[in-house]
A and B are shown apart, each in its own frame.
Chain A
Amino acid sequence: MGMTMTQKIFAAHAGLASVSAGQLVEAKLDLVHGNDVTTPVAIKVLEDNGITQVFDKDKIAIILDHYTPCKDIKAAQLCKTARDFSRKHNITHFYDVGEVGVEHAFIPEKGLVVPGDLTIGADSHTCTYGALGAFSTGVGSTDMAAGMATGLNWFKVPSAIKVTITGKFKPFVSGKDVMLHLIGLIGVDGALYKSLEFTGPSIKELTMDDRFTIANMAIEAGAKNGIFPVDEQTLAYLKGRTDRKPVIYEADPDAEYEREVVINLDELDSTVAMPYLPGNAKKVQEVKGIKIDQVVIGSCTNGRISDMHAAAQILKGRKVAHGVRCIVLPATQEIIKEMIEDGSYMDLLNAGCAISTPTCGPCLGGHMGCMCEGEVCVSTTNRNFVGRMGHVESKVILASPAVAAASAVKGELADPKDL
């Protein structure tokens, strides 16, 4: 029986010739990471158990991105705990305010993951690095602690769903629309415990940023990971970021898939997810016109440079509607620099956007844009659960950067092609 890409990565990291779906394996980790919310809990697990050594100071990343710059005294204490631990163990990849970015944009940007890697992170959107042809998945703090201590963790080898991409994007449609459409199709537990293996003739139509967005939201379909084949775009992305050699895996022709889903980009329209599940997908044309109070453009899902450009392209020369707050959060410092250099930063400022330093901030109702009862936000983030961005009676509509920017201009949920 052939193996999927994900299964091949597991076999290689478990020291086995082959693995099959359902098999429990112990695998070596190429990177273990955590953030300011999850790392302090992992540190407590280590301390409570008298564990004083980490397996490899170069293969641990600690990234202070959720409540930073610290929103309150308790958040400052969490950051201090993570900072002190990183100093004590001389953690190579510790990143603090001024250098840090939103982890799942920042880690690939720094070249910390290469194709063929197997990584875990104490954050559910760790599945993002599947865009690079790596296996990566989110875990909890105890798994992070175990990974930091041993460089190993246990996994159940997942079965797979094959997602074949065909066709070409229509204007204003992007990776976010692909993923919201897919989650709508298979449901928020449609890929539970499984890998989403993306393939097909139109993978080349997807930019690296599209792939990061798509892999990022694999968890929103319940998936263990989402993974893309490695191509010239992947290798070009890695250039100048790392000296490590990529290991390229391809699915066997006779790999087994539980299900195949085809997404034809020719037929895909701008798509949103209505409250309160990422699977409540609708074409924006079906639900446009809903009055909104806030727009958020950013996050580990859509805070990358092409997301900023998609928003700036629409907002340039226009104004954010009166009565709407448009908060833009570029995901890394490098992205901010690029925006300043190419002018998109000024385009957004002139349109009336508030532009933040990199932080997860409002995505999880942390800070920088929490909502009160009755407010509605169009957001490029990844979850629209009850109370996700503040009050339990506030609402989040998930959308692409283009739809979010168009909505900011119109003051209501809008399709960019109607502007």
Chain B
Amino acid sequence: MSKIYVYGDNVDTDVIIPARYLNDPSEKALASHCMEDIDPSYAGTVEPGDIIVGGANFGCGSSREHAPLAIKVSGAKCVIAASFARIFYRNAINIGLPIMECPEASASIKPGDKVSVEFSTGKITDETTGQVFQAAPFPPFIENIIQSGGLINSLKARGLAK
């Protein structure tokens, strides 16, 4: 069962991965500094399958793809948020970090809750409280990118990138 990390509104990309670490985009470096400026304990405690829950405008600020990459390589399974900043949203889809937009789940899930998610249906279940939430579905165009395994794969499948 997943551990939950709950953060508030406007989690920006500078706290997800501070710019002082952008000189090293290796997976190991990104994972070791992930969330450092909002939660110094995150990188040392996160385990594969854990879930990050944010409020509104998650991932605002810089376009750095290092931010969703850091979360992905840190082992977190997905991010649930009330809303996502648009560049972070694109980046997460493009690199294959699962994101779920669900204001109700974002408002209800508490640290320590046991939560399970089902990406194919967008169903989020808080096993602790018994509440079930439905994340916003992706449009078919974006769903196709996700199913292809990211943007580049979807372009290659169409013979567009050589």
Interface positions of A (Cβ within 8 A of B)? 24, 37-38, 40-41, 44-45, 49, 51-53, 66-67, 71-72, 74-75, 78, 122-124, 126, 138-143, 145-146, 149-150, 152, 154, 188-189, 192-193, 219, 222, 224, 277, 364-366, 370, 383, 385-388, 390, 392
Contacts and interface: CB of A to CB of B under 8 A. Distances in A.
A140 B23 contact: no
A364 B161 contact: no
A116 to B, nearest CB: 23
B60 A222 contact: yes
Interface in B57-77: 57, 60-66, 68-69
A145 B152 CA distance: 8
Contacts of A385: 12, 14-15, 61
A71 B23 contact: yes
B136 interface: no
Contacts of B95: 140, 142
A383 B61 contact: yes
Interface residues of B, number: 45
B85 A222 contact: yes
A387 B14 contact: yes
Contact of B161 (A44, A49, A122, A141): A49
A140 B90 contact: yes
13 contacts: A52-B162, A126-B63, A146-B94, A146-B155, A150-B160, A152-B160, A188-B57, A192-B83, A192-B86, A364-B19, A383-B14, A390-B20, A392-B37
A90 B160 CA distance: 21
B132 interface: no
A366 B38 CA distance: 19
Given A139-B91, A142-B151, A392-B37, 19 more contacts: A41-B69, A49-B152, A49-B161, A53-B162, A67-B23, A78-B25, A124-B61, A140-B68, A140-B87, A142-B94, A149-B160, A149-B161, A149-B162, A150-B155, A189-B10, A192-B85, A222-B57, A383-B62, A387-B37
Contacts of B141: 24, 154
Contact of B18 (A37, A74, A145, A387): A387
B94 A386 contact: no
B81 to A, nearest CB: 11
A402 to B, nearest CB: 26
Given A193-B86, A386-B37, A149 B155 contact: yes
A364 B62 contact: yes
